């Protein structure tokens, strides 16, 4: 992208990081943020009450490794997980996801998106096991799918063009 995705400005006026933290903190006892390349910039903007875990090997590892690092100090029996390059979850969808009693993922028309709710069966496998060949997707193959209220749960941006497309579609929806 050429810039820190976590610090991109959310249409609501905060950073994407703050928007995700706000969405989760309404329902979670603690929020852990895992950062790699931009750890110092993220630390400077980290909302109060969040814990930062650095992934010093971010260049040679994948998101599964970052997830494992983030979970290392977490004692909770349920954990919400999302990458920062996705839109923050809508509260009604989050509440629907949190009502599940097993590992679950928000979906749109059957396609899995974000966030993911991890329960003990998957949490322990991540914390103590080796990385599956297909990463987290291998562990989430047979999880409960929870239909979201919109396609935003599938959005992901890895290029400036993807970001601009999402940002402009979101701001034009909010201006009506």
pLDDT tens-digit map of 8-32: 888 888 899 999 999 999 899 899 9
pLDDT > 50? residue 175: no
Q: What percent of the chain has pLDDT over 90?
A: 56
What pLDDT, on the 0 to 100 scale, is given for residue 57? 94
Sign, CA torsion 105/89/80/160: positive
Nearest to 45 by CA among 75, 68, 14, 79: 14
What pLDDT, on the 0 to 100 scale, is given for residue 176? 37
Q: What percent of the chain has pLDDT over 70?
A: 97
Domains of the chain: which residue ranges? 5-174
pLDDT > 60? residue 128: yes
Q: In the predicted model, what is the mean pLDDT of residues 79-101?
A: 94
Residue pointed to by tokens 């852990």: 32
CB 89 within 8 A of CB 106: yes
Tokens found for residue 94? 């989050």
Second-level CATH architecture of 5-174: Alpha-Beta Complex (3.90)
Of 176 and 109, more confident: 109
Nearest to 24 by CA among 112, 100, 109, 84: 84
Across the chain, what does the average pLDDT equal?
89
DSSP state, 161?
A: H
Of 171 and 48, more confident: 48
């Amino acid at each position: 992208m050429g810039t820190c995705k976590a610090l991109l400005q959310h249409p609501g006026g905060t950073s994407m990081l703050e928007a995700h933290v706000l969405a989760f903190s309404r329902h979670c006892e603690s929020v852990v943020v895992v950062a790699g390349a931009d750890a110092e910039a993220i630390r400077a903007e980290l909302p109060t009450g969040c814990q930062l875990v650095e992934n010093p090997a971010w260049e040679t590892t994948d998101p599964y490794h970052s997830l494992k690092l983030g979970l290392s100090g977490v004692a909770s029996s349920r954990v919400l997980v999302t990458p920062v390059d996705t839109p923050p979850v809508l509260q009604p969808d989050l509440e629907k996801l949190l009502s599940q009693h097993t590992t679950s993922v928000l979906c749109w028309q059957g396609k899995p998106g974000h966030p993911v709710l991890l329960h003990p069966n998957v949490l322990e496998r991540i914390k103590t096991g080796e990385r599956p060949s297909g990463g987290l997707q291998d562990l989430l193959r047979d999880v409960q799918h929870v239909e979201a209220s919109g396609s935003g749960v599938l959005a992901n941006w890895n290029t400036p063009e993807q970001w601009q497309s999402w940002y402009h579609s979101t701001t034009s929806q909010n201006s009506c």
